[in-house]
Amino acid sequence: MASLDPVLDKDGVRLTVDDAIATVTLTNPAKRNAQTPALWRALVDAGRALPGSVRVVVLRAEGKSFSAGLDRRMFTPEGLEGELSFVELARSSDADLDATIASYQEAFTWWRRSDLVSIAAVQGHAVGAGFQLALACDLRVVADDVQFAMRETSLGLVPDLTGTHPLVHLVGYARALEICATGRFVTADESVQTGLANVAVPADQLDDTVRDLAAALLSAPRDALIETKALLQGAVERTYETQRASERAAQARRLRDLAGLGE
């Protein structure tokens, strides 16, 4: 298959679009796809650049590691050129500090849009910010060499890139606390057993498995999948009776649409 011209290619992020499937690739394998504010801004731009035809977004990474987490230069007094160091962040006003972290989080939020299904293809190390980026997606397919770890607490910080919410929902409070507090590695087998990953495959089968999953997701009518995703996303927060009502309302919309009676 011929390679696609990138829609976006900057700061360690490349976006390509093939009809209904978009692929976001982390492209700095020499640095184990370490994350920086520039990379996060590029991820935000990738989300904004998606054409309306896209239904599935695949997140993948070049090299042996999905992402080894934050670029360690961010922890130094000098920081990264052109970016606020952690020391400078700490000296910011409450409002500025909150706004800066919120801007970082934007790179991790759009993957769960109701009109998309996102799949993270994860190999090797997915540590800290790398773990949280994988957690930002709806689904995770992992290679058998995957090693997830949440190292923020071990460094005196907390996971603040939107990872705590999906982690607790996927593996439960007690296991999430233990994973974060110890900073230990979670292997492919455990990630599947606990629901963190949908499936684990040999590394050389990762791309093909994700491609097959994307094709299967596209087999369902788009509007039905959007409604189903919205129902499932809200199910945990809703009461049983409220969820029943949400199902009825969603089904009414689908029946009327299929009958040609939609608005």
The H-assigned helical ranges of 33-108 are 37-48, 86-90, 94-105
CB count in 10 Å sphere of residue 210: 24
Percent with pLDDT over 90 in the chain = 91
Structural domains counted in the chain = 2
Residues 141 and 232 in one domain: no
Residues 197 and 234 in one domain: no
Q: Are 159 and 183 in contact (CB under 8 A)?
A: no
Residues 189 and 238 in one domain: no
Residues 138 and 248 in one domain: no
pTM beyond 0.75 = yes
- Residue 86 confidence (pLDDT): 87
Q: Which of 20, 16, 15, 67 is nearest to 42 (CA)?
A: 15
At 185-216, the pLDDT tens digits run: 999 999 999 999 999 999 999 999 999 999 99
At 101-149, the pLDDT tens digits run: 999 999 999 999 999 999 999 999 999 999 999 999 999 999 999 999 9
Residues 232 and 128 in one domain: no
Q: Which of 174, 78, 161 is nearest to 126 (CA)?
A: 161
What CATH number is associated with residue 24?
3.90.226.10
The mean pLDDT value of the chain amounts to: 96
Which domain range does residue 169 map to? 8-218
Please report whether residue 263 resides in a domain.
Answer: no
Residues 229 and 118 in one domain: no
Please report whether residue 64 resides in a domain.
Answer: yes
C-alpha to C-alpha distance for 200 and 148, rounded to whole angstroms: 13
Residues 56 and 175 in one domain: yes
For residue 73, the cross-strand partners are: none
Residues 251 and 171 in one domain: no
